[in-house]
Amino acid sequence: MAIRQIIAACFLLFPYLCFAEGSFDPLYTAHLQKLSYIEEKQPAKAVLFSATPGMGKSEISRALSPHYHAVLISSDEMRRTLKEHGIYRDDRPTSENEVIYRQFAAYFIDRLFHEYPNHFYLFDSSVDRNYQPLKAALDAYEFETVLVRIEVPREIVEQRLIEREEHPDYYLRNLDKWFADYEAFDLSPVDIFFDNSGLLDIPLLIEQIDQLQFNRVLWKMITDERDAINDTSRPYDLQTGIPPCHRPDQLSLSW
């Protein structure tokens, strides 16, 4: 656990120490006003997305947030907060703006986690380039994660960007890079593959997320029973042979 905590600290806290333009406190307070459900108590869970712009992750996140009463962590909204306070500026190179954004995001998420009880986060951003450090940080805080791979053909993505964006040239210029990251992403940690090339089917995705949670709870129950069989100090039901705390009717399936 100590090593995981160190990794989390490096990912979440070290970038903040590098910030040289003043305190993040006013930005934190301002951005906090944009979030919903932060006062509700929920355990540490996170939904992550592998996707490119134009695949619908923002629309999906906005639909899932009220269903689960999850806190929506939007990279676009964080950048907008920085712009509103004159920190994310057009006269600065994009790479420098992005360093500041990452510093603020790391600071904000760490402070949010420690100050508010709702630890169910929906990350409205792609993990294609930073999955490993983000997952290590979430693991260090014992988050249960769901990784959703959104699937949309490139030609549909291009058409969506042209139709929805005021200045689509920026997105089209960077699409090769984003798709390269998307296609190079290791699929082994993906929990759900979600086809969003047609009409958005949020009920289907919710069903898939809930089924995944059910399967995880069921698997934990089974493995706990295996451990209990070898533990002679635990009470058993003489008819079923199952410890009372592991009976199916006592399963908690809330996600």
Complete domains list, the chain, with CATH: 2-200 (3.40.50.300)
- pLDDT higher than threshold 90 for residue 34: yes
Average pLDDT over the chain reads: 85
**Taking residues 51-64, what's their average pLDDT?**
96
- pLDDT higher than threshold 60 for residue 242: no
Top pLDDT among 231 and 113 is at: 113
pLDDT tens for 134-165 read 999 999 999 999 999 999 999 999 999 999 98
pLDDT tens for 176-198 read 999 999 999 999 999 999 999 99
Q: How far is CA 242 from CA 227, 233, 235, 245, in A?
A: 11, 13, 9, 8
The rounded percent of the chain whose pLDDT value lies above 90 is 65
Nearest alpha carbon to residue 47 among 63, 32, 23, 35: 63
**pTM for the full model?**
0.79
pLDDT tens for 77-100 read 999 999 998 888 878 887 888 899
DSSP 8-class letter at 96: H
- pLDDT higher than threshold 50 for residue 249: no
- pLDDT higher than threshold 80 for residue 13: no
- Tell me the pairing of strands 144-151 and 42-50: parallel
Let me know: does 200 contact 63? Beta carbons within 8 Å. Answer: yes
**Taking residues 234-246, what's their average pLDDT?**
46
